[in-house]
Amino acid sequence: MSTSTEPTAVGASASPGLRANVLGLFDSIVMAVAGSAPAYTIAGSTAALVAAVAFAGPAALLYCGIPMLGIAWAFSYLNRLETNAGASYAWVGRILHPGLGFMAGWSLVISATIFMVAGSLPAGSVTIDLFSSKEANNTGLVTLVGAVWFLVMVVLVIAGVRVTARAQWVMSGIEVAILVVFAILAIVHSASHSVATFSWSWLGFSHFNGEAGFAAGGLVAAFYYWGWDVASNLNEEMKDSRRSAGLGGIIGVVIVFALYEIFTIATNMAMPAKTIQNNAGDVLAVLGQEVWHGTGGKLLVIAVMLSTIATLETTLIQVTRSLFAMSRERTLPAFFGKILPGRQTPWIATIAVAVVSLGLFIGSNYVGSVGTILTDAIDAIGIQICVYYGLAGLTVVVAFRKVLFASVKNFLLIGVWPFVGAVFMFWILGWSIDTNTSDAVVIWVGVGGLAIGFIPMVAYWLLGSAYFKQRPTLGSVDPQVLTAQAAGD
């Protein structure tokens, strides 16, 4: 892909098929928040975080949130260079190496597919829990309801990005409103009914139990934040795409960080560790009962249900846009790029992902308990997302290397912060692989899922895909163009 001196998306691909100029900055923010799924994440991941670091949960979220924001800055600046639905797949491939770019794209595809298996499970259980708490553990019923919700999201995604965005306004709007109300109630409640007294040490390093504890907390925290980058996968469909996609991701990370910290601190204060572990997939509802008995639990169950359904939708968007971009450049089968006339969505990619995910979802529900499935999925996905987040952090430094020292802003936001984010992600990646060598599920799903990607990569490399023949281009853009993009002009 050739570079350009135009200030609009250097080296941008043509946009065959996807509907352009549909979404705005507000949509980008909503999608980023929905992608991180705050209510679902708090409900389903708190037990894993507490098991990893106990009272250090707030610290893990803080010290992962700082480098994660650096990665969000990386995505923001890379969006200014190239508008591409493949996001990290395209940027890493253009700037570092095509093989690394393919693996960045593949890591997103495989992590998103695994998540849709883990996400459909609580979608079914929390929906049933609204009507009958006893039936919420009925595996067959949970599987059926979760599958129905998943299929509804498939239909919405195929219906078009405008329909998808409007659905997100409703679901995520209600979810965040409920969470904000309960954040306030939790703070008030914890002041007089706490199991543990708040301590500033929860935001320090003393509760991590060494390097291993810090890394374990970082791996879970990375999963907490994951998903905000869906805004970048929608960049070809946004107005002012160079600015909106990246800014939406940054604002989304800040919003979910605030929600995560408040609820994690409130959980530390209101619930003993044993209670958290005994309610691994339903922590938020139990906290709601503590804060506002009866009504509170039900409202937070609704928030979790909406959050889970919403993030299934954003994850579908992310994986299908990635498949679309990869098929467009013939690094995956061309049929993934087929666009539905009138709706301008990659419908075959959506259906293919739905079939695979539903098959894995139905099978996984007969493998282990809800808590076991969620914990293993979090660890496996954590390994995969560290790959493409880390590569994106390095890529922006290389792409803008000629202008890093042009200003303090460039040095911090394009250089130091994303680089620290990349180092953090790769460190977590290496530690998690080394530590989980005895956990067959995590290794086979996390590392094995990545390894499978070498099969299509080698195949399409040998078939002569032009993507693998390209020489790095964006990293060689004229400094004047880089300066303009860094300034947001």
| Domain CATH number, residue 305 | 1.20.1740.10
Structure tokens at 414: 């394009």
Q: Distance (Å, rounded) from C-alpha 174 to C-alpha 122? A: 18
Please check whether residue 9 lies inside any domain of the structure.
Answer: no
How does pLDDT run across 385-395, given as a tens digit for each residue? 999 999 999 99
pLDDT-derived band at 52 (thresholds 50, 70, 90) equals: confident
Mean pLDDT estimate for the chain: 85
Task: Judge whether 78 and 229 are in contact, CB under 8 Å.
Answer: no
Structure tokens at 53: 């670091």
Please check whether residue 353 lies inside any domain of the structure.
Answer: yes
Please check whether residue 3 lies inside any domain of the structure.
Answer: no
Please check whether residue 178 lies inside any domain of the structure.
Answer: yes
pLDDT over 60 at 233, yes or no? yes
> How many domains are contained in the chain?
1
Q: How far is CA 386 from CA 23, 25, 67, 76, 110, in A?
A: 28, 26, 11, 18, 13
* CA angle 22–24–30, rounded 5-degree value: 110
Please check whether residue 20 lies inside any domain of the structure.
Answer: no
Please check whether residue 243 lies inside any domain of the structure.
Answer: yes
pLDDT over 90 at 420, yes or no? yes
- Domain holding 285, by residue range, is 25-486
Please check whether residue 10 lies inside any domain of the structure.
Answer: no
* Per-residue pLDDT, 141: 85
Please check whether residue 14 lies inside any domain of the structure.
Answer: no
* Per-residue pLDDT, 446: 85
Give the global pTM: 0.89
Residue type at position 34: A
C-alpha 337 chain-centroid distance? 22
Q: What percent of the chain has pLDDT over 70?
A: 89
